[in-house]
Amino acid sequence: MNMNDPSNNLKRRLDLLDAKVTIDCKRVKASKNTDRAYNSKVLEFLQFCDVSQPDEKNPRVITPLKVFEFLYYCAFRKKKKTYCKKNNLANGHVVRFKYEEYLDVLDMAHNGVDEHINVIGFGQWNQYYCAIKRHVGHQYSTKESDLKKEDLVTEQISKLINVVSYR
């Protein structure tokens, strides 16, 4: 096998390109799955912002406090039942965030009820956190907000991460 043979060189380059295309294809598939998982979580977060901050001029601009309040709710709410799941609609839109459940979580926290019964695990909670961080990056890149992903690492959120990851 002659290494200087042009056909051998072309074959080697085609093999390298084929390997690169395969890797890119896997990355795109993973990105689509991540997008599908994150989009519903971001939608739920934005609905939370709309409902919990109705007096703000633009309630969808993300702040560390909104993120903490939403992630606190996610950390201590009951697991959602996924079997036979039907989407609730309001004005033709899917309702992901339910304010009544949010108030129930706050009541439980204030009344000292054991909040660790049947709550979501760290993996699912972390998906919410990562989805919100990605959305913060999007808002920053489109100049909707000055908040950067790094700005979400507040003392409150760090403590919440510890609680959720070690329970």
98-141 pLDDT per residue, tens: 888 888 888 887 676 565 566 778 888 999 999 999 999 989 99
Give the total number of structural domains in the chain: 1
Which DSSP letter does residue 80 get?
P
Tell me whether residue 44 is in a domain: yes
Asked whether 137 and 149 are in contact (CB, 8 A), the reply is: yes
- Predicted confidence at residue 11, as pLDDT, reads 74
Query: Is residue 3 predicted with pLDDT exceeding 70?
Result: no
Within 8 A by CB and 6+ apart from 15, the residues are none
Tell me whether residue 146 is in a domain: yes
What pLDDT digit, counting tens, does each position of 56-101 carry? Answer: 888 999 999 999 999 999 988 877 665 545 555 555 567 788 888 8
- Facing residues of 95 across strands? 88
Tell me whether residue 131 is in a domain: yes
Tell me whether residue 1 is in a domain: no
Of the CA atoms within 13 Å of residue 39, those in its CB half-sphere come to: 7
Asked whether 13 and 22 are in contact (CB, 8 A), the reply is: no
Tell me whether residue 45 is in a domain: yes
Q: Which domain holds residue 154?
A: 39-165
